[in-house]
Amino acid sequence: MQFIKPDINVDFLSKKWIAIGLSTILNILAIVSLIVHGGPKMGIDFEGGTLVVVKFTQPMTADAIRKSLDPVGLGTSTIQQYGLAEERTFSIRGREADVSASDLSLKIKAAIEKGTGKTVEVVGKDSVGPQVGQDLWDKAVASMFYAMIFMLIYISGRFELQWVPSLVMSSIILGAVYLLSLFGVPMYALMAVALVIALVCFYLFKLRAAMGAIIALMHDVLLTVGFLSVLGKEFNLQIVAALLTIIGYSVNDTIIVFDRVRENLKKYSRSPLEVVINRSVNETLSRTILTSGVTLLTVFATFFLGGEVLHDFAFCLIIGFVAGTYSSIYIACPFLLFWRGGKRTAEAAA
């Protein structure tokens, strides 16, 4: 299905510096937000503790709930409104990880009903120990890290027929990360080391497509995490699942464009490289809009109709899918052009 004229010729790359400048500003703001907030706002999955979600049939405020919990020593819990005001739903998160979620929920229910005189229903509860939370966090970060590494191997081998260099690069990265992890180096530092090694290997092995794809991928993930940080959204296992989905979606969208670039490098070998890349983006524009549009319709439906449990998950996907579509055109393609070494024609760049 193609609803865009096949001869369309929008000059996307003429706006590359504006797009890169805007993306740079947004990513800097995301980093600043993460620094100011001391990193992502950890949910109970990673921080440990007990979460109880309660719902009222009458109007209620967080302050009234906190006052009712003071007599039982739970007034210091984090209490937040859940969803719309008319839903009258609140989340109560405490650090009583050694207390079962069932026991705590009964204690909270009794205290609130006694303190406010209003009926309350417990609609959700969860409990995670601090050690389990830390283990889950380490595994979550590692899963995203290794997902990116395997994406690099595939893109380098698929589009540049550089299977051996990409495998060598990945082995070097994984080996360095493993050795440093034996000395207790934090995961953030390991990822920074892996990024530096990857950049050096990209340059030495001339893995141009992988470089453009990984920069676009990092852009999407950082932008999504930055939005979550600015809006005070909790970082939990659902968000990790959403980020892994975004990584797959973003790479898939980039692959569609890069695949057409690879075909057109042979077809229009004497044309300027920028013209070839721009033509490839235009030729895949209909498919990109269809794929992104249908996917976003589904995610928007989940966002508005899926309930509070799926709200943050769907929000994360919306930001990530929009960023992924944008970065495939305005981040991955310009960096592919830059890393081709400024060649004037596709024939010289191939």
pLDDT digits (tens, 9 = 90+) for 183-213: 877 777 877 788 788 778 877 877 777 788 8
Q: Say whether both 332 and 257 belong to one domain.
A: yes
| Chain segment 214-224, per-residue pLDDT in tens | 888 889 999 99
Q: Say whether both 57 and 163 belong to one domain.
A: no
Q: Say whether both 226 and 344 belong to one domain.
A: yes
Task: Tell me what pLDDT residue 288 has.
Answer: 84
Please state whether beta strands 234-235 and 41-42 pair in parallel, antiparallel, or not at all (unpaired): parallel
**Which of 77-86, 158-167, 286-295 holds the top average pLDDT?**
286-295
CB-based contact 13:277 (threshold 8 Å): yes
For the chain, the average pLDDT equals 80
| Chain segment 24-38, per-residue pLDDT in tens | 999 999 999 988 988
Task: Tell me what pLDDT residue 223 has.
Answer: 93
Phi, then psi, of 247 in degrees rounded to 5? -60, -45
pLDDT at 61 over 80: yes
Confidence of residue 126 (pLDDT cuts 50, 70, 90): confident
pLDDT at 228 over 50: yes
Q: Say whether both 317 and 338 belong to one domain.
A: yes
CB-based contact 165:207 (threshold 8 Å): yes
Beta strands in the chain (DSSP E): 41-42, 49-56, 78-82, 89-94, 120-128, 234-235
- 4 part of a folded domain: no
Average pLDDT over residues 160-177: 80
| Chain segment 270-324, per-residue pLDDT in tens | 888 888 889 988 888 888 888 888 889 999 998 888 776 788 899 999 999 999 9
- 3 part of a folded domain: no
Task: Tell me what pLDDT residue 220 has.
Answer: 92
- Count of structural domains, the chain: 2
Q: Of the residues 69, 102, 128, which one is the last residue of a structural domain?
A: 128
pLDDT at 22 over 90: yes
pLDDT at 5 over 70: no
C-alpha 173/C-alpha 177 separation (Å) is 6
Task: Tell me what pLDDT residue 102 has.
Answer: 67
Q: Say whether both 62 and 179 belong to one domain.
A: no
Q: Say whether both 234 and 300 belong to one domain.
A: yes
Q: Say whether both 112 and 160 belong to one domain.
A: no
Residue 235 pairs in a beta bridge with: 42
* pTM (two decimals): 0.77
- 6 part of a folded domain: no
**Residue 33: how many CB atoms within 10 A of its CB?**
18
Which domain range does residue 64 map to? 49-128
Q: Say whether both 188 and 337 belong to one domain.
A: yes
Both tokens assigned to 210: 């992988």
